[in-house]
Amino acid sequence: MTTVETNTRRGRPGYDRDSMLDVIVEAFNDHGYDATSLGIISRRLGLSKSAVYHHFTSKEEMLELALARAVDSLRAVFEAPEAVAGPVAERVRFVVRAAVLVACEQLPYVTLLLRLRGNTDVERQAMEERRAFDARLADLFELASVEGVLRNDLQPRVVSRLAFGLVNSVVEWYQPSGALQPEALADTVVALVTGGLSAPGRVGRAG
Amino acid sequence: MTTVETNTRRGRPGYDRDSMLDVIVEAFNDHGYDATSLGIISRRLGLSKSAVYHHFTSKEEMLELALARAVDSLRAVFEAPEAVAGPVAERVRFVVRAAVLVACEQLPYVTLLLRLRGNTDVERQAMEERRAFDARLADLFELASVEGVLRNDLQPRVVSRLAFGLVNSVVEWYQPSGALQPEALADTVVALVTGGLSAPGRVGRAG
DNA sequence: GTCTATATGTTGATAGAC
DNA sequence: GTCTATCAACATATAGAC
């Protein structure tokens, strides 16, 4: 969104925090948060370590800001009107589709969130918020199962975990610079979740 | 497989490398390889750092041994007779099913492999072998598409990535100590991949 | 096979000049 | 807003006693 070298504010060239964060999050994803030293970060930013500390009070604050961005984007998905009302089948499709779009459009930030292991308080808090989203999707699948929209030969809890895993796996390979558009990918994921992969009439539905 | 405190060899109590590796890989998964210090490892093993170095020549060697175990398990899946011959639909089902079983049964080792970021030679080599497996599954999906077994409204390359992502996502939540058996999970994954989630006749196949 | 002690470098963070 | 210089704590790895 913001340019790397300059921004719209008047005075100095320098970075603003948002554009610095883009670089920092990339480093976090390459090495893992713990293993990303301030040396690595300052080298990527072309600044000294002290200059970096002028913009952030600690390494943990960088993580906190980055995770907040990912969590906020995902929260918007689950709080959208299309996610909380309407036919269950359409709510499932909306959430899956929107989650894929968020994963594509906020790729590095969502990637960071998904790779947390919970070794610090900041990580644990973000993971807890993420787990709340998992739970809401699980509730949606539970509801779908009760209403008979979901096939009833599979456990809804297992299915919802797999569905979320399917969506989240996008961050492991999707490249925003490539030809595949987020919308097309989202459509494919929704199609896979609802319809499966078999050609019609060729391979029977497994029981 | 091996006990933690003792093994079948004659002399001293101490650890053997395999049982030490179980503990070490758990630490690698908790903190990430880079961020796992020998202090953490030695504390978990109840040994001094020097004692650990009696069993392994370096931290990198620990990683190398652990990754070899994961890669070997996955290789066995793709080289099994059921994966290389027979009807394509059944080969797809076999590979997906077997990959889930390996993920469950070698959970910590496969988890370690899947979380690599490629910052060292050892990591890059293991990732390359893993990518070869990805490519073989992609070929299988390509073949399934050509033969008309796979629905032809989705790109086989995208679908194979998602299918692998679905399988791999298992390591993010599966607990071997829980009630869910690996075979049951594998059945569910295969059912999801082939049949999708919709109840028969309720939600149409997306196009 | 395990230990203490140590070598050598890197870490996150601070102080203070410009 | 950036820098150099510095800190204590920690990293991986080794030496040598028991």
Compare A122 and A206 and report the one with higher pLDDT: A122
Angle at which helices B156-168 and A182-195 cross, to 10°:
70
**Identity of the residue numbered B132:** A
Facing residue for A206 by CB, picked from B185, B191, B199: B191
pLDDT at B196: 77
CB contact under 8 A, B197 and A155: no
Q: Which residues of B touch A166 (CB under 8 A)?
A: 162, 165-166, 169
Question: Tokens for B39?
Answer: 């202090």
Distance in angstroms, CA of A37 to C1' of C11? 7
The whole-angstrom distance between B169's CA and the closest CA on chain A is: 5
> In whole angstroms, how far apart are CA B102 and each of A207, B73, B77, B189, B194?
22, 7, 8, 13, 20
Q: Give pLDDT tens digits for B131-171.
A: 999 999 999 999 999 998 888 889 999 999 999 999 999 99
User: Across the interface, do B197 and A196 touch by the CB < 8 Å criterion?
Assistant: yes
- Give the minimum alpha-carbon distance from A159 to chain B in angstroms, rounded to a whole number: 8
8-state DSSP, A106: T
Q: Does residue A2 surpass a pLDDT of 50?
A: no
pLDDT above 90 (res A6): no
Going by the DSSP 8-state scheme, the letter that residue A169 receives in this structure is G
**pLDDT-derived band of residue B16, with 50, 70 and 90 as boundaries?**
confident
- The pLDDT of residue A7 is 40
- Please, what is the average pLDDT of chain A? 90
Say if the Cβ atoms of B166 and A166 lie within 8 Å.
Answer: yes
Nearest-nucleotide field for B51 (CA, C1'): C2
pLDDT of residue A99: 98
Burial class (CB in 10 A: 0-12, 13-18, 19+), A201: exposed
Q: Is residue A200 scored above 90 in pLDDT?
A: no
pLDDT of residue B201: 59
With distances taken from each CA to the C1' atom of nucleotide D15, the closest residue turns out to be B50
Q: Give the CA-to-C1' distance from B52 to D17 in angstroms.
A: 18
pLDDT, tens only, A163-179: 999 999 999 999 999 99
Kindly report, residue by residue over B79-90, the tens digit of the pLDDT: 999 999 999 999
Which of residues B22 and A196 earns the better pLDDT score? Answer: B22
Taking the model in full, what pTM does it have?
0.92
- Asked whether the beta carbons of A102 and A176 are under 8 A apart, the reply is no
B24-34 burial by CB neighbour count: b if 16+ within 10 A, else e? bbbbbbebbbb
pLDDT digits (tens, 9 = 90+) for B84-129: 999 999 999 999 999 999 999 999 999 999 999 999 999 999 999 9
Distance B89 CA to D11 C1' (A): 51
Q: Å between B7 CA and D17 C1'? A: 28
Looking at the partner chain, which of A30, A172, A192 has a beta carbon nearest the beta carbon of B159? A192
Q: Which of A90-104, A138-152, B82-96 has the lowest mean pLDDT?
A: A138-152
Residue B2 is predicted with a pLDDT of 39
Left (φ > 0), alpha (ψ -120 to 50) or beta: where does B86 sit? Answer: left
Tens of pLDDT, residues A21-57: 999 999 999 999 999 999 999 999 999 999 999 999 9
The shortest CB-CB distance from B32 to any of A34, A148, A149 is to: A34
In chain A, residues with a C-beta closer than 8 Å to the C-beta of B194 are: 196-198, 203, 205-206
Which band of pLDDT confidence, cut at 50, 70 and 90, is reported for residue B194?
confident
Helix (H, G, I), strand (E, B) or coil at A141: helix
Which of A165, A193, A196 is facing B169, going by the closest CB pair?
Answer: A165
Confidence of residue A201 (pLDDT cuts 50, 70, 90): low
Gap from B28 CA to chain A (nearest CA, Å): 11
For residue A35, which residues of chain B lie inside 8 Å, CB to CB?
32-35
Least confident of A171-175, B60-64, B196-200: B196-200
Q: Is A153 helix (H, G, I), strand (E, B) or coil?
A: coil
For nucleic chain D, give residues with Cβ below 7 angstroms from it.
A 11-15, 46-51, 54-55; B 36-40, 49-50, 53, 57-60
Q: Output the average pLDDT for chain B.
A: 90
The set of strand D positions with any atom below 7 Å of a protein CB reads: 1-6, 10-16
In terms of phi and psi (left: phi > 0; alpha: psi -120 to 50; beta: otherwise), the region of A118 is left
